[in-house]
Structure 1
Amino acid sequence: MAGVAAIAWGEWLNWRWSRTLVGTSGGAAETVVVLGFRNPEATANVINRWRVRAGIRSITADSAQGTRVIFSGGATSGGASEAQLMADYAKSVLEFDGTVLLEEQSATTWENITNVIPLLEDADHIKIASQPAHALKARAYLRRQRPDLATRLVRADDYRPGEWLLVKPLLAVYGLWALRGLKADERKISP
């Protein structure tokens, strides 16, 4: 019974985080930002592969041709950047042939947001794809750095019921720790 409760709790928190600090911005120009995760290997690791899939499935069907996908993340070792590894995975494995931009300097989530801001200026819709707690943290950072751009945030398809089911309680615990610095108004679910 405790295991079922932990799974339900993890699902609920991840669902809630995916719907916090997002709106229903209008317009046609869509940008999806995919945040990288530590990747010392020569190919995208399991976390980055999942984030790329979440980012690609976040593209609105009727704006697929005009959507830009920004992969954000610097190099964690002497090799390629997280952004480059994710872009390579999107193109070679997922056969994504849309517009791709790389932000390859970031080492933290704050830097991810700081460095992608110039690439977001003309976006009508902004989606941030990562695990729900991490994406919420990034949305809060965008809100702090550029409140005008934060009004354009809409929900990415980074939460699906049952996906990562057994890991979600652990992601929820980690998310609570990672989000401890958010203000009360940054934790409220969007209407």
Structure 2
Amino acid sequence: MLRRTGLAIAGVAALAWGEWLNWRWSQVLVGDGRGASEAVVVLGYRNPQATANLINRWRVRAGIRSCAEGAHATCVIFSGGATGGGTAEAKLMADYAKSVLGFDGTVLLEDRSATTWENITNVIPLLEDVDVDCIKIASQPAHALKARAYLRRQRPDLAERLVRADDYRPGEWMVVKPLLALYGLWTLRGLKANERKVLL
């Protein structure tokens, strides 16, 4: 009985830890700015099949729900190249957004990137062209934080426009959030201390 109770407490603690850490990452390197125009950058995940995979479908949904209702001009930028010579992740995500989610807003594609660093490098010219007030990066919270840190390194002037995307919601993916948190800690180990600072 005590063993079961201990396991239950450990399980609840792990879920709470994963939830908290993902929430915290969603708050880092973002401001609270608002504006009349915005760009939502949706980062792709390796996708060798001919349709958007589970993770890319979720990222697209997170990106679309990140579009602010009050913004007069919103564009969604899908970023990701082809995996193994197939169709680019950006195109697969855009197709899913339009055909399944019915998104009819402005869409731009960045279809050459193979890494998160390349995502940001190749998205920068598009962000310059659209010249928006706010920039949101949608992905799993740890991955989005990594991308925001990369934008801050490459173009601190554009990073000043970063605001939160709606890619963290309490309870969403709750069972796997402890695993996402562990993986996130590993992927974020290269970030500097000032890139982990919560800007509220």
The TM-score with structure 1 as length reference comes to 0.98
CA separation in 2, counterparts of 1:79 and 1:187?
35
DSSP-derived class of the 2:78 partner: strand
Instruction: State how far apart, in whole Å, the 2-side matches of 1:29 and 1:190 are.
Output: 22
* Alpha-carbon distance in 2 for matches of 1:128, 1:153: 8
Aligned to 1:168: 177
Q: How many matched pairs?
A: 190
How far 1:77 moved relative to its partner? Answer: 1.9
| Structure 2 segments unaligned to the other structure (5+ residues) | 1-8
Query: 1:151 Cα deviation (Å)?
Result: 0.2
Q: Distance in 2 between matches of 1:39 and 1:32?
A: 20
What is the distance in 1 between the residues matched to 2:25 and 2:51?
Answer: 29
Report the alpha carbon displacement of residue 27 of structure 1 after superposing the two structures with TM: 2.5
Structure 2 residue corresponding to 1:82, chosen from 69, 89, 92: 89
- Structure 2 residue aligned with 1:185: 194
Structure 1 residue 189, shift from structure 2 partner: 1.3
| Residue pairs, 1:54-69, within 5 angstroms | 54-63=62-71, 66-69=73-76
User: For residues 26 and 11 of structure 1, what CA distance do their matches in structure 2 show?
Assistant: 26
Report the secondary structure of 1:181's partner residue.
coil
Give every structure 1 segment of 4 or more consecutive aligned residues whose post-TM-superposition deviation is greater than 3 Å: none
**Which structure 1 residue ranges, 5 or more long, are not aligned?**
none
Q: Are 1:111 and 2:111 counterparts?
A: no
1:24 — aligned with what?
A: 32
Find the aligned partners of 1:125 and 1:104 in 2 and give their Cα distance: 22
Task: Give the RMSD, CA atoms, in angstroms.
Answer: 0.8
Q: Aligned runs of 1:136-155 on 2, under 5 Å?
A: 136-155=145-164
User: 1:24 offset after TM fit, Å?
Assistant: 2.0
Q: Distance in 2 between matches of 1:190 and 1:18?
A: 11
- Partner amino acid, structure 2, of 1:169: P
Q: What is the identity, as a one-letter code, of the residue corresponding to 2:163?
A: V
1:53 aligns with 61
Larger radius of gyration: 2
| Contact 2:46/2:89 (<8 A) preserved | yes
Task: Say which SS state the counterpart of residue 71 (structure 1) adopts.
Answer: strand
Match of 1:131 in 2: 140
Give the conservation status (yes or no) of the 8 Å contact 2:36–2:70: no
Whether the 8 Å contact between 1:25 and 1:151 is mirrored in structure 2 is no
Percent identical across equivalent pairs? 80
Taking structure 2 as the reference length, what is the TM-score of the superposition? Answer: 0.93
CA distance, structure 1, for counterparts of residue 168 and residue 93 of structure 2: 19
Counterpart-to-counterpart distance in 1, 2:52 and 2:161: 29
Which moved further from structure 2: 113-122 or 148-157? 113-122
